[in-house]
Amino acid sequence: MISLIAPAKTLDYESDLKITDFSVASHLKDSKILIKELQNKSPDELSSLMGLSEKLSTLNFERNMNWKVPKKPSSVSRQAIYAFKGDVYMGLEAETLSKRQINYAQKHLAILSGLYGLLKPLDLIYPYRLEMGTKMKNSKGKNLYEFWGSKITDNLNEQMSGHKRKGVINLASVEYFSSVKPNELSGPCISPVFKDYKNGDYKIISFFAKKARGMMARFIIENKADSLDEIKEFNSSGYKYSKKDSSEFSPVFLRKTV
């Protein structure tokens, strides 16, 4: 089974890394096409397209113009799992995973990306900003969903071909998972839901839910969880599986903090 997570807007290319192993992204030819599209846009056009501040639009204009195919780890090129920093990655805490656990994640975890399509944890990436939901016209359509078409789904199926149990654990946001075609996957799609108790009821609270997705991804890596029953054992940070609130492929985890 493969767990899917979304990338993050915040990037880290400064912290020290213990692991020097790396891999090469599968869709770099497609990334080059998108970068060429982005390189034709001025800072003002990037600002309008992505809703960026003047400072961020200038930064990402420079990133686009300097983008290269990553060949080795450097100050401007690092493994995806260490480059992204956000709520999900706070829960994942990839920097504390052992080399053995990272090697497991390399086969059982994938990161969806507007620019790179589908990334393995150790795939090298340059700094970028291109969210999957960006309505950027391109050579294949009016947005990135049309650009990627079935390529991400096909890549997932290819990666799962060597797995004993086939299936996808959807720990990504709606924006990013919309780039996957569930009906074309070679296994079931499991979409965990995380709810916290607030004002007398259990609700999805964005920050906590994002962090819980990262914690779930870590739990799967640490325990080599490879079935729905094993996933239901997730209990990090006080979350517990609720049978009565769950459906067949949507296990619900509740947390009530004092």
Q: Give me the count of residues in the chain.
A: 258
So what's the pLDDT on residue 70?
A: 84
Query: What contacts 24+ positions apart, CB below 8 Å, involve 227-233?
Result: 227/1, 227/165, 228/190, 231/169, 231/190, 231/192
- Coil, strand, or helix at residue 3? strand
Q: How far apart are CA 7 and CA 144, in angstroms?
A: 15
Which residue ranges in the chain fall short of pLDDT 50?
258
So what's the pLDDT on residue 164?
A: 86
Q: What are residue 169's DSSP bridge partners?
A: 3, 190
* pTM confidence score: 0.95
In the structure encoding, which two tokens stand for residue 152, read together? 């991400």
So what's the pLDDT on residue 216?
A: 98
So what's the pLDDT on residue 257?
A: 77
Q: Give residues with Cβ within 8 angstroms of 248, minimum separation 6.
A: none
pLDDT in tens, 7-25: 999 999 999 887 889 999 9
- Coil, strand, or helix at residue 73? coil
Is residue 175 within 8 A of residue 132, CB to CB? The reply is yes
Q: Give residues with Cβ within 8 angstroms of 82, minimum separation 6.
A: 12, 15, 17, 19, 94, 95
The secondary structure of 117-128, three-state, reads EEECCCEEECCC
Q: How far apart are CA 38 and CA 30, in angstroms?
A: 13
SS3 content of the chain, % helix, strand, coil (to 5): 40, 20, 40
